[in-house]
A and B are shown apart, each in its own frame.
Chain A
Amino acid sequence: MDSVILDLHNKLKNNEITSEELIKETLEKSKNIQNDLNPFVTICEETNIPKSIDNVLSGIPYVAKDNLSTKDILSTGSSNTLKDYVPFFDATVIERLNKKNACLIGKSAMDELGLGGTGTTCHTGVTKNPWDKTRITGGSSSGSACLVASGVVPFALGSDTGDSIRKPAAYCGIVGYKPTYGAISRFGLFPFASSLDHVGVLTRTVKDAAIVVDNVVGIDENDMTSIDLKSNLTESLTNNISGKKLFYIKNMLDINNYENPSDDLKNIINEFNKTIELARSLGATVDSVEFDQNLLNAIFPIYQCISCAEATSNDSNLTGIIFGPRGEGENYIDMIKNHRTNGFCSLIKRRFIIGSYVLQKENQEKYFLNAKRVRRLLVEKFNELFKTYDAMIMPAAGSIAPKIDSINEVINGTGSMQEVLENYMAIGNFGGYPSITIPNGFVSGMPIGINLTGAVYEDANVLNIAYTLESNMNYRNQIAKEVE
């Protein structure tokens, strides 16, 4: 079975299960998982159960990350600044799923406003990894990853600014896919960094990711950056990659370039190498490409510069004046200060300060504008590579999901190869590339992932490569052990 959604759809259509039963069962599971792993901000007890099953998404339960605006449903972005905010309009992606009669059964927890990669900064507490409750899920789409990995829903919506879909997918042993920038409208997505933000999907199979995305893509008149992918992803899954050309970045996969590499890293690279061999055996070529180390080292710092700069501006609407809890104070400055001081976690405040610093008149040229220049340089290099290659294939992370109590939210900026490997997926956001993480086995009992990234608009090609690899491995539709 290559699609959980199709399987459920057939059961609904053949009356093996009714929509009511499916939703009831999902809600029961949701409550149990919530007690156990804390992935929800809101569980929607009342959802619109469709009267008939007229399309593949009819009656299929899903969750949406809490930074997607949902009409009449609490949407907090996991921030105290929005803890009681109930929007009066739907995000475009939600509206499109509503039209398909998909059933929103909850809003998932996330790192506050998307600015984090651990799932530990939600205002409702830490989301735990369903494979090992002492570990993080990764983030910022932490709740979405948790709920898909624990089998509560077949798909969840997420957002990805650096790797916020693809990294938690790797840590939780599922599929995380962000399409080309603009393919899914950002209207109604609480912004983190507009030039890097993508809406995407977390599923347990590649085909499910294709099915969901096929149903929500397309030009949106409310988003001037929206685009038309002009392809049907589901139909592009041929299970044939003969002749496809892949590459990986040689410097990042040479264990000798790592200072004190962990056993986990060695095993991750071993699993990766096996998958490359698999790709070759399926008729693809896989080249190793040496990449300018200075540019690789720049990825993380320029991501910090650009994302923090845009975030500090994007989140300036959170003043507690129009919405959100009104701050206390004698004047508007004190009121805003009070609201923001009490509302944001310390990680966000630090990032706002970084963002503000790099945008200051005297710093802008040196930091922000140079970061944008290096971003362009990197994108040009990758565009060049994508002229030759169908996709880049890489491990999705350099470790398994870390222990919750090991999380230190301070940015180190060590410039090590480990840091490069943990953060390189931001390339996908710099270039707006389609990028997908799929499971690639286990290390130390925890799931790991590989990532495939291709040229803009080449979503169908990238997804087909992912689908074909997935079909020839044994990690499709994994449900986490702890909750089975």
Chain B
Amino acid sequence: MELIPVIGLEMHAEMKSTTKVFSPAENTYNDISNLHVNKIDMAFPGILPLVNMECMEKAIEMALILNCNIPKIFMFDRKNYYYPDLPKGYQITQFNKPIGTNGYLTIDVDGEEKKVEILDIHLEEDSASLDHYSYFSLIDYNRAGVPLLETVSAPCIHSSKEAVAFLDTMKNIFRYTGISDADIKRGQIRCDVNVSMMEKGSSEFGTKVEVKNVNNIANVAATIEYEIKRQTELISAGRKDEIVQETRRYDEATNTTISMRSKADAIDYKYFVEPNIPPFNISDELVEEIKSRIPVLPNEKKLKYINELNLSSIEANIIVKDKEVSDYFDKLIELGTDIKLSTNWVINQVTDYINNNDINISELYLNPERLKYIIDQVISNKISNKQAKELFSKSLELNREPSELIKELGMEQLNDSDELRTLIISLLDNNKTQVEEYKNGKTNMFQFFVGQVMKETKGKANPVMVKEILTEEISNR
């Protein structure tokens, strides 16, 4: 019996906005706790929510990108439950009328296109964050009321690879549009992962398990892998009934999932329409305007790289994967840098460096202008590739202009043909025996002379020119 994993994802992304979704407190990440807090975020008696239209517009933008239907009238609902990180005792979310429904997103899974159906996308508020210690817990309300955009996929994903491709694509769209920074390290992306196993050829879903609050994409993949293994093993061992509808959590330490509560203990959230936000509409004109604001997205950009710049599909994929890398690359090209070399440098040296040093490309000392200088030196044969790499490293190590370093490191190539000719002539004059040997057929003596020139010039001589002049002069003997 062959089993197919059936996976549905609920992806929460913290949105980028000036203020929080229902309060005028700043929406800024801060290491100092409880700095960006308004009385609304802490639910003091008598507060009322105020819908942030910037968040509404960004949420609509995402719904449009995901090809969703947008309702004519917007409203919000309350999701009621008690928890110390939820000051009001309810979360304002969209249950009855999400901002978008019935959409899809086309993703690339190892060169294969796949359409992921989107059931809905809705706007809601984040809870406060809790820090648990042995005897107590601390609450940070900075996050309370931060706008969250939740995207719910249909159960149409069948592997961890597809899930990762979907989440990566979503993450890239968030960054390209500025709807979210989608910063994994800051926990801006969190997922609820639904996994079940279905018999091949069957149309009946298996029992679904929900793994809540998985906080980065790699862990989503690990969660899926683990659940597939666990459920497959149970089914194979004839213990299918041990797979129960339940909520689990991912445990990073053991790389497994752990049961939290069964369906019987599921919380009844008692959803009802938020009475403090009157239903409102957004004009067709504004929706059109939002649509026109959507920037060039990764897929579109990838096609542009392939068709206009002749990049390979693999190269284009690597560059578009990170908006900032892509912006950096675009700037290089815009400055008129060689396309082939730009591509190689960005994909290899630049990407390696930012990954190894865990920095953003925007923080890289070698901005596109400086990298262009290095590439230009290679193009005009002033330095070798090897020297260019050395210059790249030194410049980043010292945060110094490559145009200054190139001189200090004595890297500038000797390209003066007169100077080289004088040097070669005197070399041939001083090594008459070797010239004779060459003339008598010992052709590897040519390399000896090249080596001598390089030695004399401390490697600065342009090797191409050396060979040309040497060939000329030696044949004149």
Contacts and interface: CB of A to CB of B under 8 A. Distances in A.
Q: Are A and B bound to each other?
A: yes
Interface of A: 67-69, 75, 77, 82, 85, 87-89, 91, 186-191, 193-195, 221-225, 309-310, 312-313, 315-319, 321-323, 332-333, 336, 356, 359-361, 364, 368
B248 interface: no
Given A316-B80, A364-B270, A322 B42 contact: yes
Nearest to B89: A316
B39 interface: yes
A336 B82 CA distance: 9
Contacts of B90: 313, 316
Contacts of B45: 67, 69, 75, 77, 82, 85, 87, 190-191, 317-318, 323
Contacts of A82: 45
Given A89-B44, A309-B272, A321-B87, 5 more contacts: A69-B45, A312-B80, A317-B45, A364-B270, A368-B272
Nearest to A89: B39
A120 B51 CA distance: 38
A389 to B, nearest CB: 26
A358 to B, nearest CB: 9
A319 to B, nearest CB: 7
Contact of A225 (B82, B87, B270, B276): B276
A221 B51 CA distance: 11
B88 interface: yes
Interface string B333-362: 000000000000000000000000000000
A309 B277 CA distance: 17
A300 to B, nearest CB: 20
B419 interface: no
B270 A322 contact: no
B270 A87 contact: no
A195 B80 CA distance: 17
Which of A88, A319, A364 counts the most B-chain CB atoms under 10 A from its CB?
A319
A318 B275 CA distance: 19
Interface in B274-301: 275-278
Nearest to A222: B48
Which of A67, A91, A188 counts the most B-chain CB atoms under 10 A from its CB?
A188
A133 B127 CA distance: 49
Contacts of A191: 45-46
Give the secondary structure class of B's interface. Answer: loop
Nearest to B22: A224
Contacts of B275: 193-195, 310
A313 B44 CA distance: 14
Contact of B46 (A190, A309, A359): A190
Contacts of B82: 316, 319, 333, 336
Interface of B: 39, 42-51, 78, 80, 82-84, 87-90, 268, 270, 272, 275-278
B46 A332 contact: no
B50 A361 contact: no
A321 B39 CA distance: 14
Given A194-B276, A316-B88, A359-B270, A186 B43 contact: no
Contact of B277 (A221, A224, A356, A368): A224
Given A317-B87, A317-B88, A322 B44 contact: yes
Contacts of B78: 313
Contacts of B270: 313, 356, 359-361, 364
A189 B46 contact: yes
Nearest to B269: A361
Nearest to B83: A332
Contacts of A336: 82
Contact of A87 (B44, B84, B88): B44
A221 B24 CA distance: 11
Given A225-B278, A316-B82, A188 B46 contact: yes
Shortest 10 CB-CB contacts between residues of A and residues of B? A316-B89, A195-B275, A359-B270, A194-B275, A317-B43, A188-B46, A69-B46, A190-B45, A332-B84, A361-B268
24 contacts: A67-B45, A77-B45, A89-B39, A186-B48, A187-B46, A189-B46, A194-B276, A195-B275, A221-B50, A224-B48, A224-B276, A309-B272, A310-B272, A313-B78, A313-B80, A315-B89, A317-B87, A318-B45, A319-B84, A319-B89, A322-B44, A332-B83, A333-B82, A360-B270
Contacts of B46: 67-69, 87, 91, 186-191
B276 to A, nearest CB: 5
Nearest to B268: A361
A318 B42 CA distance: 11
